[in-house]
């Protein structure tokens, strides 16, 4: 599948949420077509298939009554203004002939609908973890480690490659994808700051995490030997993770950064570069017809990358399994405030698994607040914190209430299950 480009001219029907339409099939027949999005009913309950059927039945009966009362049979009915997002982000396609027509083209009263099934927690929760029928965006091309992470997070999903990290965010926001799986830190290379900045600029929620062992290989065209190489290309993180091993191999050559590891392999194969090698996975070698010059060239055999799973809606926090919560905050009153913020977690015996600061920049950082309105603000530092507790726990709620007293900006990026699956440094492909 072709990667989504930020400059691609998308059809307006993709960008703007679609509405239920009322189409006049015949003089009295009304069809309700529900395309992709959903609605907020007067009672505040999100829509399900039964909700849509009930809503359309009420709507069509009103249109039928208006047609009968006015006597004007030529004016098509107008569209409803009740709109809201579909439950769990699933698309549905419903064509309902809600006003039956007899052989003489006479409208008949609609048959009564079966009683609605009450919504449950399952109806209001995100889609299950198995990933079936989910479209998952990732940065890179086929063969990238992000693709493998997407498959681990959502088995049997439809993986959608994107050429940039921000395109993956946009793909979820525009309903082109249901989820995104993006790297945030590596055990050797550290944090991927670009994605932390994007978490601030986009209104997506972290709904899970997955840890992927990284096994790097040195790839080149068939027949190429290491002594012929003048350049090694890969993602900046991959280059830093293999720096010492490349030196031990005698590859004191130019090292160039590109967008992703598999993209480096594809670039060599496409341009028939016989003086260039790529750092990528063994699967990338298979996909693009390259040979493996050296296997397992990462400096640490325990090299692992942590990915986060992003969705349009947050999940419901629970307490029956280990949860992690990610927050970002800012303050403008010096380091003493940071001590007070951290003590809010220490006093409640909440373990921090990550704390990192992002420095103030010369130009404003665009933030998205709770009203989904972008505002430009200057902060000396933005602090990212991960802690081991669920937002369903009272201690976590009290800790954040105290944190809010000392900060000028606070946002919960997500409260989600921790990845507890064991992993080993051995080759995973």
Task: Tell me whether the CATH fold assigned to 135-213+304-417 matches the one assigned to 217-295.
Answer: yes
Say whether 118 sits in a helix, a strand or coil: coil
Q: What is the pLDDT of residue 109?
A: 60
Q: How far is CA 333 from CA 272, 340, 341, 355, 383, in A?
A: 56, 11, 12, 18, 14
In this structure, the dihedral spanned by the alpha carbons of residues 94, 100, 104 and 106, taken in order and rounded to 10 degrees, is: -120
Please say if 230 is a catalytic residue: no
Alpha carbon distance 284, 289 (integer Å): 8
Domain ranges of the chain: 16-124, 135-213+304-417, 217-295
Q: Residue range 138-148: average pLDDT? A: 94
Alpha carbon distance 385, 189 (integer Å): 18
| Closest among 221, 255, 220 to 238, alpha carbons compared | 255
- How do strand 352-359 and strand 231-234 relate by DSSP bridges? unpaired
Q: Express each pLDDT in 31-77 by its tens digit.
A: 333 333 333 434 433 333 344 333 333 333 433 344 444 444 444 44
Q: Considering the domain 217-295, what is its CATH architecture?
A: 3-Layer(aba) Sandwich (3.40)
| Closest among 305, 326, 302 to 314, alpha carbons compared | 326
Q: What is the pLDDT of residue 381?
A: 78
Across the chain, what does the average pLDDT equal?
Answer: 75
Q: Express each pLDDT in 309-326 by its tens digit.
A: 999 999 999 999 999 999
**What is the CATH number that goes with domain 135-213+304-417?**
3.40.190.10
C-alpha of 20 from chain center: 26
- Give the chain's end-to-end CA distance (angstroms, integer): 22
Q: What is the pLDDT of residue 7?
A: 40
Q: Express each pLDDT in 374-385 by its tens digit.
A: 565 555 678 999
Contacts (Cβ under 8 Å, ≥6 apart) of 87: 38, 46, 47, 48, 123, 124
User: Does 262 have pLDDT greater than 80?
Assistant: yes
- Whether the Cβ atoms of residue 96 and residue 53 lie closer than 8 Å to each other: yes
Please say if 41 is a catalytic residue: no
The residue length of the chain stands at 429
Residue 343 token pair:
């003590």
Contacts (Cβ under 8 Å, ≥6 apart) of 232: 218, 239, 246, 251, 253, 254, 255, 256, 276, 277, 278, 279
User: Does 180 have pLDDT greater than 50?
Assistant: yes
User: Does 397 have pLDDT greater than 50?
Assistant: yes
pTM score > 0.75 for this model?
no
Q: What is the pLDDT of residue 421?
A: 77
Q: How far is CA 338 from CA 140, 307, 406, 426, in A?
A: 37, 27, 8, 40
Number of CB atoms found within 10 A of residue 406's CB: 18
Select which of 245, 261, 276, 305 is catalytic.
305
Residue 252 token pair:
């004191």
Q: Residue range 395-404: average pLDDT? A: 95
User: Does 428 have pLDDT greater than 80?
Assistant: no
Alpha carbon distance 81, 58 (integer Å): 14
Alpha carbon distance 413, 310 (integer Å): 10
User: Does 192 have pLDDT greater than 50?
Assistant: yes
Select which of 64, 165, 307, 379 is catalytic.
307
């Amino acid at each position: 599948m072709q990667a989504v480009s930020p400059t691609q001219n998308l059809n307006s029907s993709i960008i703007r949420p679609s509405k239920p339409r009322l189409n006049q099939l015949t003089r009295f027949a009304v069809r309700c077509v529900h395309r992709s999005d959903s609605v907020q009913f007067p009672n505040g309950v999100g829509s399900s298939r039964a909700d849509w059927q009930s809503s359309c039945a009420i709507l069509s009966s009103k249109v039928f009554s208006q047609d009968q009362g006015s006597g004007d049979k030529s004016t098509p009915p107008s569209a409803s203004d009740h709109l809201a997002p579909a439950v769990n982000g699933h698309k549905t396609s419903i064509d309902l002939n809600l006003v039956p027509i007899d052989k003489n083209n006479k409208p008949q009263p609609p048959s009564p609908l079966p009683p609605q099934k009450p919504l449950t927690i399952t109806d209001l929760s995100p889609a299950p973890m198995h990933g079936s029928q989910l479209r998952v965006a990732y940065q890179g091309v086929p063969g990238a480690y992000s693709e493998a992470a997407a498959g681990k997070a959502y088995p049997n999903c439809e993986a959608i490659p994107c050429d940039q990290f921000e395109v993956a965010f946009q793909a979820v926001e525009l309903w082109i994808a249901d989820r995104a799986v993006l790297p945030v830190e590596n055990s050797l290379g550290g944090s991927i700051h670009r994605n932390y900045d994007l978490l601030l600029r986009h209104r997506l929620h972290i709904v899970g995490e997955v840890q992927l062992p990284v096994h790097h290989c040195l790839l080149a065209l068939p027949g190429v030997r290491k002594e012929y190489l003048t350049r090694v290309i890969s993602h900046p993180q991959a280059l830093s993770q293999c720096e010492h091993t490349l030196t031990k191999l005698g590859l004191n050559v130019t090292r160039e950064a590109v967008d992703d590891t598999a993209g480096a392999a594809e670039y060599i194969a496409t341009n028939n570069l016989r003086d260039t090698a790529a750092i990528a996975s063994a699967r990338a070698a298979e996909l693009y017809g390259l040979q493996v010059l050296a296997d397992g060239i990462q400096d640490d055999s325990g090299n692992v990358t942590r990915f986060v799973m992003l969705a349009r809606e947050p999940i419901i926090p629970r307490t029956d399994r280990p949860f992690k919560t990610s927050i970002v905050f800012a303050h403008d009153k010096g380091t003493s405030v940071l001590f007070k913020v951290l003590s809010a977690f220490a006093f409640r015996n909440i373990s921090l698994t990550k704390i990192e600061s992002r420095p103030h920049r010369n130009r404003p950082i665009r933030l998205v607040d709770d009203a989904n309105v972008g505002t430009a603000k200057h902060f000396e530092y933005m602090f990212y914190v991960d802690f081991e507790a669920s937002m369903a726990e009272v201690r976590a709620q009290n800790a954040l209430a105290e944190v809010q007293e000392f900060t000028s900006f606070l946002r919960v990026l997500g409260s989600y299950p921790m990845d507890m699956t064991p992993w080993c440094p051995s080759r995973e492909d």
